Amino acid sequence: MNAPSTQQASQSLDMMVRTLRLPGFATHHEEVAITAERQGWSFGRYLHHLCELELTEREQRRIARFSKRSGLDPDKTLERFDLARVPSKVKRQVPTLCSGRFVEQGENVLAFGLPGRGKTHLLSAIGHELICRGYRVLFIPAYKLVQRLLVAKRELRLEQELKRLDRYPVVIIDDIGYVQQDREEMEVLFTFLGERYERRSVMITSNLVFSQWDKIFKDTLTTVAAIDRVIHHATILELTGTSYREEAAQKKNIKAEKNKPSKNG
């Protein structure tokens, strides 16, 4: 049997690496082969370099896929968050939270503060960092989560929906303080929190302190039970200071005043 030509061998290799689902190999093997030949690499080094490229590209695709499915705002990253504005205690806690250690232990993160203090941005930024470390994250406003669970309950598939959400080691529930629920809505949220207790992590933003959570859960016993579940093994971030949005609006108004034509112009 005649040996295949160089072109035939290259085409055969392309087909095999695609069959093996190695797109990085398929994309780079020719250019890496040229480099290897010029620099006198061993076969082992050539293969090692291709494997590194394959793993790097897989990681990039995984991050892109997880980010797309997370619901996170792509602009709310740690690079765009001004850590100088947050209390020093919060600043010290951020690197540990970004490491994902709390996710491994099924712990929670709660961010409290008045509107415009950066709660959503900070938790979203941590969410992006967790995705880069291999964790699946879901960001969802509290009202959407409640409606999603409520629809599932009415269609007799609440258990299946909880299992779907359980695929995410981290669920970020945004603005839980704005949810003013009736009893049925309160029950599905309580069920969700109970299902994840000590197994999966929730990250919650709220403009209401715990003493005001009866506005969310209505029933005193349910409120106490819900608080107990979320604060047990939890990191609490208290964001104080002035409102980002108010400052941005003031700066915009000042700029507009400066650019306004004078009456004598």
pLDDT per residue as tens, the chain (265 positions): 455 555 665 677 677 777 778 788 878 888 888 898 899 998 889 888 888 888 888 899 999 999 999 999 999 999 999 998 899 999 999 999 999 999 999 999 999 999 888 999 999 999 999 999 999 999 999 999 999 999 999 999 999 999 999 999 999 999 997 766 677 888 899 899 999 999 999 999 999 888 888 878 877 888 899 899 899 889 999 998 777 666 655 555 555 556 666 555 4
Residues 79 and 94: beta-carbon distance below 8 Å: no
Task: Tell whether 32 and 140 lie within a shared domain.
Answer: no
Question: How big, in percent rounded to 5, are the helix, strand and coil portions of the chain?
Answer: 60, 10, 30
Does 162 reside within a domain?
yes
> Could you list the residue range(s) of the whole structural domain that residue 161 is in?
72-247
Task: Tell whether 38 and 137 lie within a shared domain.
Answer: no
Q: Rounded to an integer, what distance in angstroms lies between the CA atom of residue 81 and that of residue 110?
A: 18
Task: Tell whether 117 and 181 lie within a shared domain.
Answer: yes
Give the SS3 label for residue 203.
strand
Kindly tell me the sign of the dihedral angle through the C-alpha atoms of 211, 201, 140, 223.
Answer: negative
Does 62 reside within a domain?
yes
Task: Tell whether 131 and 202 lie within a shared domain.
Answer: yes
Task: Tell whether 155 and 228 lie within a shared domain.
Answer: yes
Does 263 reside within a domain?
no
Does 255 reside within a domain?
no
Give the largest CA-CA distance in the chain: 94
Does 2 reside within a domain?
no
Phi, psi at 174, each rounded to 5°:
-95, 135
Task: Tell whether 165 and 58 lie within a shared domain.
Answer: no
Residues constituting the chain: 265
Phi, psi at 203, each rounded to 5°:
-120, 125
Residues 201 and 107: beta-carbon distance below 8 Å: yes
Task: Tell whether 175 and 65 lie within a shared domain.
Answer: no
Total domain count, the chain = 2
Distances (CA, A) of 172 to 45, 70, 111, 138, 152: 43, 10, 11, 6, 19
For the record, the structure tokens of 221 come out as 């016993």
Does 261 reside within a domain?
no
Verdict on whether the full-model pTM lies above 0.85: no
